[in-house]
Amino acid sequence: MDTENALIVASRRDLPTFELNPLARVEADQALQAAALIGKVTDRDSKIVAVRAQQELKRVITAYERARVTLKEPLLAVSRQLDNLVAREKLPLEKEFGRVSNVVKEFDDAERRRVLEEERLQREELARIEAAKQAELKRIADEQAARETEARRLQEEADRKAREAQEAAARLVAEATTKKQRQEALRAVEDAVRQKAFADTEKARQDAILRDGTALAAAQVAAIQEQAGDAAYAASRPVEITKVAGQRQSSNWVITVTNPYDLARYHPDMVNITPRLTEIKAALNEGREIRGIKAVRETKADVRVPVERKAIDV
């Protein structure tokens, strides 16, 4: 580490290293050799030999562990001293960091509220644009339907008059017996011809009006769709929170379990059920039957080291 730029400098560079005392290796080998002679316990005498081998193994293991703890304690003390030093120096920094973080959080919370409000207004504006577009499309459709209705009415009126003129002319022609009646019948035929020509002209005129109306309606619909699209695009611009370089923002759920029983009942896939083994063992010792478990009593044998002999130096 570059000590010129390091915030924490070690007052000494040499760290202790450890190696085994030759006596420790000798005692370990003796314990292992004695244990290697134990192949099977068949009677009380062989059990005594086996237990003594266990005791010797346990004594060496305990000596190793005691030496490890003793030698490690200074290192742990140095580690705790470093932890305390850094914790003490970090405390005012962390307090000030927390204060500034709260100030920034207050602004970010206000920004999130602003974003939510702007998004709400944005949704309302988009809904207003869509409603206005639909109303305008309905107006165009109603006007087109009115034109079609009026065209049908005028065409039907012209067709009716032409048909009535034709029927009247045909009746007069059939009833004409005198010169005057024949003249009236002739005039009626000429009127029927004019009415038929007018009906044909009116049909052509109404067809042209409907074609022009359909084209006009299509153009109006296209214009309204384009205007509404432009307005919706302008109104749906992304609403962003104010960010600065170097800041990281994240969100997380703060969860408080208000009813663990309902949580486990309705959402069993979202909970862990951990058995309390101490209570289970106590109940088994009382002879109680515990549903949902399988319990088999297991007996383990260990040994005590009777006499503390010389320690093993590591």
What is the mean predicted confidence (pLDDT) over 115-135? 90
Cβ-based neighbours of 247, under 8 Å, separated by 6 or more: 104
- For residue 306, the SS3 value is coil
What is the pTM assigned to this prediction? 0.52
The yes-or-no verdict on residue 71 having pLDDT over 50 is yes
Residue 66: its pLDDT value, please? 93
Q: How far, in Å, CA of 112 to CA of 116, rounded?
A: 6
Residue 174 phi, psi (nearest 5): -70, -30
The yes-or-no verdict on residue 266 having pLDDT over 60 is yes
What is the mean predicted confidence (pLDDT) over 114-139? 90
Residue 170: its pLDDT value, please? 84
Residue 313: its pLDDT value, please? 52
The yes-or-no verdict on residue 107 having pLDDT over 50 is yes
Locate 298 and state its tokens: 């297991």
Higher per-residue pLDDT: 158 or 262:
262
What single-letter DSSP state applies at residue 268?
G
Higher per-residue pLDDT: 196 or 314:
196
Best CA proximity match to 56, nearest among 32, 79, 36, 73 = 32
Residue ranges of the domains in the chain?
22-235
Length of the chain: 314
